[in-house]
Chain A
Amino acid sequence: MTSGAAPLVELRGITKRFGSLLANDAIDLSVDAGQVLALLGENGAGKSTLTRILYGLSRADAGEIRIAGQPVTMTSPADALAAGIGMVTQEFTLVGPMTVTENLMLAGSPLGRIDRKAARARVLAASQRLGVPVDPDAVVERLSVGERQRVEILKALLGDCRLLVLDEPTAVLVPADVDLLFASIRRLTADGMAVVFISHKLHEVVDLADRIGVLRRGRLVADLPAEGLDPVAIAALMVGAAGPADAELPDDVVDEALATAVGLDGAAPSATAAPVDRARPAALEVSGLTLAGDPRPRLDDVSLTVRAGEIVGVAGVSGNGQTELVAALCGTTPATAGTVHVGGAEVTGLDVAARLKAGLGRLTEDRRGSVVLGMSVEQNLVLEDLDRFRTGPFLSRRRVRAHAEALIERFDIRAAPGDPIRSLSGGNMQKVLLARALERDPTVLVASQPTRGLDVGACQYVYTQLRALRDAGSGVLLVSEDLDELIGIADRIVVLSGGRLVGEVAAADATREALGVLMTGSREYAA
């Protein structure tokens, strides 16, 4: 850190409370011009809260923000922009049908006549500053996620931006786009801009950051120069000595969690898996699955087999047919052509209830969309199997309660049977869904992004359950955008691009780079 001159942006004693939860506890943090500060921490550690306060989206209960030594009041993003702070959040705020230039004009538009030419020139100038070409006349909804993110960054740069805040920018990107993003960040910092960068991925952070701040349960537990840091120690700081907040796990699981978080033994879990015997029965057999779409099919002749006792990963950049594949397998969207067999029985034309009966289990990325939020934990636990809990024509409350209590015990769900499910944390809600799916001993489990948004402890819990299911002889189809997750847990990985399967690799041989090439190298993705 520089001595003498005041840092570009300085947070002093920032405290924010949500009810009984202390989201930020007297946080002191500063960033100098030309510096990249990485903020690390589990979900719920307070990273997003802190950046929201910095960008004026939320107000601290106590503490102050100083810019170049001067205290400032931040009551809205407009104040933050005026103070030279720009932010790109995880949710993009672009108007799809408009062009890049039009979107950027919306952001900073003063009243009066619109000068399209000047706006276009400003877009070109800003994209030059970023070092990545952006077509100012491209319509946003036709851009890839990486390109949209660049537009968001341009939007933040348009004002007199001196500090750029990026909230998990790499979560949605393919490896090639991550490289471009990092090149852009380096270019911007070379120009004297400061960047605050939130990430879960330690190896990225080691590459990019000058300094690393680690948050845990609202407190800043480390603020270190990035150079020469020990990733294992950082990971230990992230999850804390007492273990992850959401689950009290045995030590070996925590060790594994730490190792996975730092990417040291990402491939180790699969090494324990027995090589899959081709003679084993197919748990899930998909043949020629096609879902028509305009202008091209959303799923195009997808064929794959998941054998009993194996985990097959599906890799792909978001929006390349994963959602459609899962919906077609679950029966919520009827396929145009092709067949699906579960455990040898055809389920192609069947509805959801019949597929469940045939042995299909589901775990989707949309947790809150998989439960009825207005109902209790126990009602959600039995919703798929109501008829099993009937006494005569009536639902037996006693048996429902007993069943729920047993599952809560077995899956370590932190809730009472009668609690409204809406009040559960993401990790706990996922446990409810896992319990509901696994309790039926599914022949095959289709799991889509089962760890998205979960903290390290809850992720490990999900992995442990998926592995246990595989070892018990079920098949698992794991759809994920997290390559480390796929390489770490799957036995084989297939790659979906533009609605087609474009490749398959054994997890033991898979590398991020190889998968990345498959994910982006098809005809579809030409940025």
Chain B
Amino acid sequence: MRFVLRSREPRWLPAAAAGLAIVATLALTAGPIRLAGAAPVSAFERYVVTPLTTGNGIAEVLLAATPLLFTGLAVAIAFRVGYYNIGAEGQFLAGAMATTAVALALPDLPTAAALPLALVGGAFGGVAWAFLPAFLRRRAGIDEVVTTLLLNPVAVLLLQGLLNGPWRNPDTGFPDSATFADGYRLPALFGSRVHAGLLVGLVLVAVTAVVLRATPLGVRLRAAGQSPAAAEFSGVKVGLLQWRSALVSGGLAGLGGASQVLGVQHQLTGSLAAGYGYTGVVVATLGGLSAVGVLAVALLLGDVQVGAQGASIALQLPSQMGGVLTSVLLLTVVAALSVRHYRLVRRSPRAVGG
């Protein structure tokens, strides 16, 4: 048996690959769930189905998916053009810090001015954090994977430094910022914890989907990512596209950070460094670097995240089991995506000379 590269992909193949990945994920995680003392089938039901059975559950899923929309889109846009931005985590935090700076500096602004200013500030924070790696890549050809990744812990340390220093809560003395003024609250939706950040995220998903699918820019981005040399040959300015996409990517991640502090926490806390940016890489990859894929996967991961909290209470499963589930899913999907380019061929019988 050996693998042979396919020249054409049948239509059913991507769907079959995704289905195979899901089946493999269920099979692989059944063992650990059983070891943790729960029945796999009821556990899977808790993870995926239960959160969607109540209105409150659905709201929590939407809430959990919101930051992943931003970071997933940020990573997808960068990866598309072949700029491997692993720094959405740092850019997300930089956006949150920039928003906080605005909120703390101008507490008296009315909502109509405060929210746009804080959101734009957050986007600029993300852009600022993405600037240096993108600049180094463009001017000196320095690999962005390393620089964007290494700036993430720098952002975490900056966050902790600010919270333990100038932004320490004046009332409680805890390492959290003061609560933002009322003008800096994203409005809640459906009377739940879901906030207007979700709408911003959905608009961005729609805009990104249209740009990638239906504009010349989308075709150029794809060409630049798939074959930089051929794209350059055809007059596509690959370096420039990567540079701009890197900054847009940082801006989107920063906007995600702004949405999270303005919509959920209403203050800056250390708990914000919860890996939203890293999960964004998972979301983008699982979503096939498409905007709609990012939306679907963000919702799925939000679902599993909420389900994992429920499962830890109802089935006494460790809450990390949700992470195990999504991580295994990532591995199986990536494996399925690469295997689908090949077909398995039975080695032909030895014919020559018997």
Contacts of A423 in B (CB 8 A): 7-8
Task: From A71, A364, A383, give the contact of B353 (CB < 8 A).
Answer: A71
Contact B351 A59 (CB under 8 A): yes
CB neighbors of B among A494-525 (8 A): none
- The answer to whether A176 has its CB under 8 Å from any CB of chain B is no
Interchain Cβ contacts within 8 Å, total number: 101
Contact B352 A73 (CB under 8 A): yes
- The answer to whether A464 has its CB under 8 Å from any CB of chain B is no
- The answer to whether B42 has its CB under 8 Å from any CB of chain A is no
Say how far A231's CB is from chain B's closest CB, in angstroms: 34
CB neighbors of B among A380-401 (8 A): 382-384, 386-387, 389-390, 393-395
Asked if A369 meets B8 with Cβ closer than 8 Å, knowing A65-B353, A71-B354, the reply is: no
**A395 CA / B223 CA spacing, docked (Å):** 15
Contact B351 A61 (CB under 8 A): yes
Contacts of B8 in A (CB 8 A): 420, 423
- The answer to whether A332 has its CB under 8 Å from any CB of chain B is yes
- The answer to whether A330 has its CB under 8 Å from any CB of chain B is yes
**A73 CA / B232 CA spacing, docked (Å):** 48
- The answer to whether A375 has its CB under 8 Å from any CB of chain B is yes
CB neighbors of A among B216-230 (8 A): 216, 218-220, 222-223, 226-227, 229-230
CB neighbors of B among A1-43 (8 A): 14-15
Contact A384 B226 (CB under 8 A): no
Contact A394 B214 (CB under 8 A): yes
Taking residues whose C-beta sits less than 8 angstroms from the other chain, chain A's interface range is 35 or more
Say how far B1's CB is from chain A's closest CB, in angstroms: 15
Contact B352 A74 (CB under 8 A): yes
Contacts of A53 in B (CB 8 A): 352
Contact B232 A332 (CB under 8 A): yes
Contacts of B353 in A (CB 8 A): 64-65, 71-74
Contact A63 B352 (CB under 8 A): yes
User: Which of B148-156, B234-242, B280-288 touches A?
Assistant: B234-242
Per-residue CB contact flags for chain A residues 223-235 toward chain B (1 = under 8 Å, else 0) read 0000000000000
CB neighbors of B among A398-426 (8 A): 420, 422-423
- The answer to whether B350 has its CB under 8 Å from any CB of chain A is yes
Per-residue CB contact flags for chain A residues 44-75 toward chain B (1 = under 8 Å, else 0) read 00000000010000011111110000011111
**A288 CA / B78 CA spacing, docked (Å):** 41
Task: From A59, A71, A395, give the contact of B348 (CB < 8 A).
Answer: A59
Contact B219 A386 (CB under 8 A): yes
- The answer to whether B338 has its CB under 8 Å from any CB of chain A is no
**A351 CA / B240 CA spacing, docked (Å):** 12
- The answer to whether A373 has its CB under 8 Å from any CB of chain B is yes
**A94 CA / B233 CA spacing, docked (Å):** 30
Contacts of A379 in B (CB 8 A): 219, 223
Which partner residue on chain A sits nearest B240 by CB separation? A351
CB neighbors of B among A291-330 (8 A): 330
Since A373-B226, A383-B223 are in contact, a sample of 4 more A-B pairs with Cβ atoms closer than 8 Å, ordered by chain A residue number, is: A14-B352, A62-B351, A352-B233, A394-B214
Q: Can you report 30 A-B residue pairs in the complex whose CB atoms are below 8 A from each other?
A: A59-B350, A61-B348, A62-B351, A64-B353, A65-B352, A71-B353, A71-B354, A74-B352, A75-B350, A332-B233, A353-B235, A362-B233, A369-B229, A372-B222, A372-B234, A373-B227, A375-B219, A375-B222, A382-B219, A383-B231, A383-B234, A384-B235, A386-B216, A387-B216, A393-B215, A394-B214, A395-B214, A395-B215, A422-B7, A423-B8
